[in-house]
Amino acid sequence: MTRVAIVTGGTRGIGEAICLALQEQGRTVVANYAGNEEKAKAFTERTGIKAYRWDVGDHEATMEGCARVAAEVGAIDIVVNNAGITRDGVLHKMSFDDWNEVMRINLGGCFNMAKATFQGMRDRGWGRIVNIGSINGQAGQYGQVNYAAAKSGIHGFTKALAQEGAKYGVTVNAIAPGYIDTDMVAAVPPAVLEKIVARIPTGRLGQASEIARGVAFLTSEEGGFVTGSTMSINGGQHMY
Ligand code: NDP
């Protein structure tokens, strides 16, 4: 049986690599994205994977989007909550909007996607949810109280939901990436990035495909005994 997987924020960066790894595993994959039509179109042309546009921070839009995927593609058995944004700034310069927007999308998006899909997984007796956290949710990061709080929240959310799914064949895990070579990291000023790389024991940024391999394992049949865990993929930068 081909299982249907959805990757939020799947049209570029780490999300695209995850889509490709799941496709390689024989899953029927769809991606979600926020609004960058150009990147989404190029992604679908490259991969043949259908992309659905909605804001995962919007509860109603997420419920409707997942219902549409289920009707057009099939019941969703695998969810990868990868969509995420940054709105960095030290606390005294961070606006309430910057705080709210990051919590709404990065953490609220996980809740919304779970609300739309978890019950169906439980009813069918099989499901996989992987939430993409961050090293900065584990260790904190200067100028990122919003992002670190949301990502740290993802790790708590994962452990709580894992307990609700375990008896029903639904596993819930998180991956905490370190610094990965994507558009998000390209936005970090070069001088800051140089200092960050100097603190990574492997001496380099990670590749999106290295996160994707972790997701492929956690969503596999063989990954069924792993739940409530956080897999750190960070070049040894933070050993937790
Ligand atoms: P990118 O910025 O490269 O891509 C983000 C993706 O998320 C895009 O597809 C974007 O869609 C989508 N997205 C953003 N907001 C929403 C929304 N409201 N609803 C739906 N989709 C949305 O991110 P990365 O690949 O770098 O990061 C992916 C995940 O990994 C994020 O959760 C990030 O926090 C996490 N992470 C990344 C690290 C890194 O070093 N890069 C390190 C640790 C964690 P669109 O193209 O339409 O804008």
How many domains is the chain built from?
A: 1
Could you tell me if residue 239 is inside a domain?
no
pTM comes to 0.98
Q: Is 40 within the bounds of a domain?
A: yes
Band (pLDDT 50/70/90 cuts) for residue 183 is confident
Relative to the CA of 151, which ligand 1 atom is closest? 34
Residue pair 31/52 in contact (Cβ under 8 Å)? The answer is yes
- Ligand 1 probe mutation, 33, 106, 193, most atoms within 8 A of CB: 33
Mean pLDDT of the chain: 97
CB-facing half-sphere around the CA of 174: CA atoms within 13 A = 27
Cα 172 versus chain centre, distance:
12
Kindly give the distance from the C-alpha atom of residue 68 to the centroid of ligand 1, in angstroms, as a whole number: 22
Task: State yes or no: pLDDT of 1 exceeds 80.
Answer: no
**Is residue 188 in a domain?**
yes
Which of 16, 32, 39, 82 to probe ligand 1 with, by most ligand atoms within 8 A of CB? 82
The answer to the question of residue 189 being in a domain is yes
Domain region containing 179: 4-233
Catalytic (active-site) positions? 147
Q: Write the CATH number for 100.
A: 3.40.50.720
Residues 196/179, Cβ–Cβ less than 8 Å: yes
Above pLDDT 90, what percent of the chain? 95
Give the relative orientation of helices 108-124 and 59-72 as an angle to the nearest 10 degrees: 40
Report ipTM for this prediction. 0.99
d(CA 214, CA 89): 30
Residue 187 has pLDDT above 90, yes or no: no
**In-domain check, residue 240:** no
Residue 58 lies in a domain: yes
